[in-house]
Amino acid sequence: MDIRLDGKAALVTGGTRGIGRAVTLGLARAGAAVLACYRTESEAADSLARELKSLGGEHRLVKADVSDPAEVTRLVEECSAAFGGLDIVVSNAGAISHIPFPELSLDEWRRIIDTNLTGAFTLTQQALPLLRPGSSIVYIGSKVAMVGLPLRAHYTASKAALIGLARTLCKELGPRGVRVNVVAPGIIDTAGLPPERTTQYERIISLGRLGRPEEIAAVVTFLASDLASYVTGETINVDGGT
Ligand code: NDP
């Protein structure tokens, strides 16, 4: 079934690299007008701008740090000026680090929580006035929220909290016609893992391979679409069976 998002406007954070880039392109190819946020000036942002231009349509790239509430306000104002409203919000920007729990500093805990959780909170609250009935919010969580992993207490806590946030907001925002869901990726091939790590992971994944960013984007595109009009408060694992 061909999923179409014509006439819809979308905001994607962390939209120029990895999973976010695939989501931006997936939504744009389905016909949505997309504003993708990035934090770091890079060739990735420049090449995405070229790719979006070649697709045609009303797409924009905006620099913003989602851990800074003032920047999120500006980001949402840019959406308002560009599109007048929003139908799709994908909170994808995420940060991670690997630190033994006894050595995890409060500053590092806050950095990860501020980006992964508070960023999603601020974005959702600021974007709310722009959301039209039938809107879809998608948080990019993580399978680690369900299983836990050593060295990632801060990251895992932030991603688990997104599930609680979505469960609550589905109830609070449902009457406005706004759906809220989480997509929880397993191990996705974005970071150029060394071959030995890839082989280790492949052994524990039922499908025997890492996921592709486009496989996350496909599920996000479904959730963003009217085909998912009765799906809210859910967490969908996209993990190849781990
Ligand atoms: P990457 O690590 O490749 O990139 C992270 C993205 O988040 C970049 O686009 C980055 O922007 C953006 N970002 C980070 N901090 C901020 C910030 N403060 N403000 C704005 N943007 C920020 O990401 P992945 O594609 O691997 O991951 C995307 C999402 O998927 C994340 O939430 C991650 O936790 C989640 N995930 C990924 C998995 C994987 O295996 N790859 C597995 C499970 C979940 P910029 O480059 O401009 O700095």
Residue 104 pLDDT: 98
Domain 9-238: CATH class, spelled out: alpha beta
Pocket of ligand 1 contains residue 36 by CB under 6 Å: no
Assign 144 a pLDDT band (cuts: 50, 70, 90).
Answer: very high
Helix (H, G, I), strand (E, B) or coil at 138: strand
Residue 191 pLDDT: 75
The share of the chain scoring above pLDDT 70, in percent, equals: 100
The share of the chain scoring above pLDDT 90, in percent, equals: 97
Query: pLDDT digit string (tens) for 17-69?
Result: 999 999 999 999 999 999 999 999 999 999 999 999 999 999 999 999 999 99
Strand duo 60-63 + 179-185: pairing? unpaired
Q: From the candidates 139, 155, 201, 230, give the one annotated as an active-site residue.
A: 155
Cα separation, 130 vs 132, whole angstroms: 6
Assign 86 a pLDDT band (cuts: 50, 70, 90).
Answer: very high
- Region 178-201: what's the mean pLDDT? 93
Residue 143 pLDDT: 98
- Under 8 Å CB-to-CB from 39, ≥6 apart: which residues? 14, 63, 64, 65, 66, 93
Residue boundaries of the structural domains of the chain = 9-238
Pocket of ligand 1 contains residue 40 by CB under 6 Å: yes
Assign 194 a pLDDT band (cuts: 50, 70, 90).
Answer: confident
Residue 192 pLDDT: 78
Strand partners, 10: 34, 88
Residue 163 pLDDT: 98
Is 139 assigned a catalytic role? Answer: no
Assign 77 a pLDDT band (cuts: 50, 70, 90).
Answer: very high
Query: Is 1's pLDDT higher than 80?
Result: no
Residue whose CA lies nearest to ligand 1 atom number 23 = 18
What does the block give as tokens for 163?
């599930």
Is residue 16 within 8 Å of residue 38, measured between CB atoms?
Answer: yes
Beta strand segments in 51-149, E: 60-63, 86-91, 131-140
Tell how far the Cα of 175 is from the centroid of ligand 1, in angstroms.
31
Query: pLDDT digit string (tens) for 105-116?
Result: 999 999 999 999
Atom of ligand 1 nearest to the CA of 38: 47
- Region 153-181: what's the mean pLDDT? 98
Atom of ligand 1 nearest to the CA of 187: 40
